[in-house]
Amino acid sequence: MVMNSQSATIDMRLKHAYGDFDLDVDLRLPATGVTVLFGPSGSGKTSLLRFLAGLARAQQGRLQVTGAVWQDETNFIPTHLRPIGYVFQEASLLPHLSVEANLLYALKRVTKDGATLQDEESEQVLSLLGIKPLLKRQPEQLSGGERQRVAIARALLSQPEVLLMDEPLASLDQQRKREIIPYLEKLRTELAIPIIYVTHSLAELSRLADTVVVLEAGRVVTSGPTSEVLTHLDSPLQLNDEAGVVIEASVISHEERWHLLRAGFVGGEMWLADEGIAIGEAIRVRVMARDVSITLSQHEDSSILNTLPARILEIAEAAVPGALLVKLVLIGSGEAVENGNSTVLVSRITQRSAEHLKLVEGMSVWAQIKSMAVLR
Amino acid sequence: MDENLAAIALTLRLATTVTLLLLLIGTPIAWWLARTRVWFRGAVAAVVALPLVLPPTVLGFYLLLLMGPNGPVGALTESLGLGLLPFTFWGLVVASCLYSLPFVVQPLQNAFEAIGERPFEIAATLRAGPWDRFFTIALPLAKPGFVTAAILGFAHTVGEFGVVLMVGGNIPGATRVVSVQLYDHVEALDYAQAHWLSASLVLFSFLVLVVLYTFNRRASSSFRLRG
């Protein structure tokens, strides 16, 4: 991916071959927001993160972060001299130190003059991640989710210029994941530094990513802004059963009687389960391709709440035999679509239905959305 | 009886000196063996482990030659004005250090290896340099290994006989340790003295081991839990 060079802060061209593993990437990542490195295990996403951190050394290449060269033919800056924060997949805390001592381990090494956890900046980090009640505990007395929160807080206390996270939720069960994801979303909105986040979970990608890099077998297969990558019909992401798009919306009104809220976005509005989100607040809504169906007319006699006018942009074969992917642009309010700003859905239907409805590109249809998830 | 007490005191002094020296010498060796990947690592490990398989008298014989007036070590110590080491307390210390080295290095090496890469990687991402990592990660996490190494080094030095006899001889107050004294009693058929000395040695060793193993059990079980 070649991004605008002014906005690029992480510039890497790295090559590494070891046994069956062969990595060759040329990437420029943006200065802000969350970049998700996505791919199956063995795709090289964790290796890439370790090269960034200096925990491993790529055999060839160049790595430059915010103007500083971290690796080239002659130089290799060791990990402890790189201004990074790193959150490991599991066992992230130093086992012989209490939570407080773990945090101080980081703080003492970046501040010369006796900084404490009571300083304003540290306080902010601790309250952002809800650490204060845990300070006196030992790592083995924490749940997996609490451990990861402490690890994230510790990484932030080391005042990183880039935060690197290697599948921080992968070792947690569903409930722990739900417990920690709101903290990650807060990081996303409140941190000024870029976050590079490795995951193989499409759900985490949908919630957190601003930019997506999809890796397969050591190569970048597609990359770009999240909404773009998620709506690419030939992207390997579409092979996933949970493939879908993310819509940036905001809350317009509440319908208390039905426990519903109305959310508006470029090109339309829709009903969602009301989770007590205030009017005006920005939310992310995830719509999976398998939950979107297509009709030629608007059915008033359907149990489906959200039926939105749309136009077919593209039809492509899905990886599953007999299935098609249909890319739809929502045309609920016309003017937004024309200035290049639009909301796109992907629908997965059967080839039989497509033939039966005689769907072709450019056709106006109705998109029925069976269900969706509010991600905030 | 006074002779027995003198022998016990000398043995304790020797074992303590040797244990402390070995912890100092053995730690860098064990650290190096645990972390290095160079090709001659195996050869170094074999040299360290040699005293485990050699008869003590073989080791003692070579040390006697090396440290004697015609040996290179002997020439060196004489030129430094230290005199000759055989049949002195410090000669015993040198010999015991070599003899007990594997008993200190191996538990330390195992403890260092058991830490794994992760804690060091964590520390590096928190800006800890190599020395910082050694003192704040390696040493505290290897604590159970240090306890085991100290027990084994101490106990093994107390129990040696062959090397001591070859290198130290049998000089009261200087090289006559408990094991040699005991041998003298048995040679002289003085079984009462032999019993007294043996029983006190058994009791002492037992008590030291009980205390240290109790401590070590606690240390190593908490280590496992946290790991």
pLDDT in tens, B130-186: 999 999 999 999 998 998 899 889 988 988 888 888 898 888 888 888 888 999 999
Q: What are the residues whose beta carbons fall under 8 Å from the beta carbon of A216, sequence distance 6 or more?
A: A39, A40, A43, A236
pLDDT, tens only, A303-316: 888 888 999 999 98
Question: CA of B117, closest CA in chain A: separation in Å?
Answer: 10
For residue B117, what is the domain's CATH number?
1.10.3720.10
Has residue B220 got a pLDDT over 80? no
A105 part of contact set with chain B, CB < 8 Å: yes
Three-class secondary structure of residue A230 per DSSP = helix
Strand A219-225 to strand A162-166: parallel, antiparallel, or no bridges (unpaired)?
unpaired
At residue B217, the pLDDT reads 63
Banded pLDDT at A6 (limits 50, 70, 90): very low
Mean pLDDT rounded to a whole number for chain A: 87
pLDDT, tens only, A200-249: 888 889 888 999 999 999 999 989 988 888 888 777 778 777 888 888 88
Is the Cα torsion angle B77, B20, B22, B151 positive or negative in sign?
positive
Backbone φ and ψ for A166, nearest 5 degrees, come out as -100, 100
In our burial notation (b when 16+ CB lie closer than 10 A, e otherwise), range A225-250 reads ebbebbbbbebbbbebeebbbbbebe
Question: CA of A319, closest CA in chain B: separation in Å?
Answer: 39
Mutate to test the interface with B, among A47, A80, A92, A99 (most CBs of B within 10 A): A80
Backbone φ and ψ for A295, nearest 5 degrees, come out as -130, 160
User: What is the C-alpha to C-alpha distance for residues A141 and A150, in angstroms, rounded to an integer?
Assistant: 12
- Assess contact for A52 and A10: CB atoms under 8 A: yes
User: What is the C-alpha to C-alpha distance for residues A294 and A349, in angstroms, rounded to an integer?
Assistant: 8
Burial class (CB in 10 A: 0-12, 13-18, 19+), B192: exposed
Beta bridge partners of A200: none
Chain A residues in contact with B125 by the CB 8 A cut-off are: 53, 55, 79-80, 84-86, 155, 158
Listed ranges A2-16, A174-188, B165-179; the one with the highest mean pLDDT: B165-179
Instruction: Kindly state the DSSP code that residue A76 receives in the 8-state scheme.
Output: B
At residue B224, the pLDDT reads 39
Has residue B35 got a pLDDT over 50? yes
Mutate to test the interface with A, among B122, B131, B146 (most CBs of A within 10 A): B122
User: What is the C-alpha to C-alpha distance for residues B112 and B26, in angstroms, rounded to an integer?
Assistant: 12
Q: What ipTM was assigned to the predicted interfaces of this complex?
A: 0.82
In this complex, the residue of A54, A94, A138 whose CB is nearest that of residue B122 is A94
CB atoms within 10 A of CB A100: 15
Q: Do B121 and A55 touch (CB under 8 A)?
A: yes
Q: Do B125 and A85 touch (CB under 8 A)?
A: yes
Q: Do B123 and A94 touch (CB under 8 A)?
A: yes
Percentage of chain B lying above the pLDDT 90 cut: 56
Has residue A299 got a pLDDT over 70? yes
Banded pLDDT at B216 (limits 50, 70, 90): low
User: What is the C-alpha to C-alpha distance for residues A52 and A59, in angstroms, rounded to an integer?
Assistant: 13
Question: CA of A212, closest CA in chain B: separation in Å?
Answer: 24
Enumerate residues 194 to 213 of chain A having a beta carbon within 8 A of any beta carbon in chain B: none
Has residue A275 got a pLDDT over 90? no
- Closest residue in B to A104 (Cα–Cα): B126
Question: CA of B129, closest CA in chain A: separation in Å?
Answer: 6
At residue A331, the pLDDT reads 86
Helical axes B2-35 vs B89-115, angle rounded to 10°: 40
Strand A282-288 to strand A244-255: parallel, antiparallel, or no bridges (unpaired)?
antiparallel
Q: What are the residues whose beta carbons fall under 8 Å from the beta carbon of B112, sequence distance 6 or more?
A: B30, B31, B34, B35, B138, B142, B145
Structural domain boundaries, residue B137: 2-226
In the block, which residue shows the tokens 């579409």? Answer: A238
Domains of chain A, each with CATH number or no CATH: 8-231 (3.40.50.300), 244-374 (2.40.50.100)
In the block, which residue shows the tokens 């690796």? Answer: A71
Mean pLDDT rounded to a whole number for chain B: 88
- Assess contact for A46 and A198: CB atoms under 8 A: yes
Three-class secondary structure of residue A272 per DSSP = strand
Three-state DSSP string of A310-343:
EEEEEEEECCCCCEEEEEEEECCCHHHHHCCCCC
Has residue A335 got a pLDDT over 60? no
User: What is the C-alpha to C-alpha distance for residues B200 and B182, in angstroms, rounded to an integer?
Assistant: 11
Three-class secondary structure of residue A82 per DSSP = coil
Question: CA of B38, closest CA in chain A: separation in Å?
Answer: 18
What does the block give as tokens for A137?
Answer: 């505990």
Has residue A333 got a pLDDT over 80? no
CB atoms within 10 A of CB B164: 26
What does the block give as tokens for B156?
Answer: 């093994």
Has residue B213 got a pLDDT over 90? no
Q: Do B226 and A140 touch (CB under 8 A)?
A: yes
At residue A5, the pLDDT reads 47
CA distances from A268 to A245, A329, A337, A372, A375 (A): 15, 10, 10, 15, 18
What does the block give as tokens for B210?
Answer: 């009980």
The conformational region for residue B173 under phi > 0 = left, psi -120 to 50 = alpha, else beta, is left
At residue B14, the pLDDT reads 94
User: What is the C-alpha to C-alpha distance for residues B177 and B171, in angstroms, rounded to an integer?
Assistant: 9
Three-class secondary structure of residue A370 per DSSP = coil
Give the gyration radius of chain A's Cα atoms: 23
Identify which of A56, A375, A35 has the alpha carbon closest to the alpha carbon of residue A214: A35
- Assess contact for A48 and A63: CB atoms under 8 A: no
Beta bridge partners of A271: A262
Listed ranges A310-319, A327-336, A364-373, B106-115; the one with the highest mean pLDDT: B106-115
User: What is the C-alpha to C-alpha distance for residues A23 and A28, in angstroms, rounded to an integer?
Assistant: 16
Q: Do B127 and A95 touch (CB under 8 A)?
A: no
Mean pLDDT of B41-66: 91
Burial class (CB in 10 A: 0-12, 13-18, 19+), A85: buried
User: What is the C-alpha to C-alpha distance for residues A94 and B226, in angstroms, rounded to an integer?
Assistant: 9
Q: Do B137 and A94 touch (CB under 8 A)?
A: yes
- Assess contact for B7 and B176: CB atoms under 8 A: yes
User: What is the C-alpha to C-alpha distance for residues A280 and A252, in angstroms, rounded to an integer?
Assistant: 6
In the block, which residue shows the tokens 């159970």? Answer: B144
Beta strand extents in A19-144 (DSSP E only) = 21-30, 34-38, 60-65, 68-71, 84-87
Question: CA of A151, closest CA in chain B: separation in Å?
Answer: 10
- Closest residue in B to A90 (Cα–Cα): B118
Has residue A262 got a pLDDT over 70? yes
Q: How many domains does chain B have?
A: 1
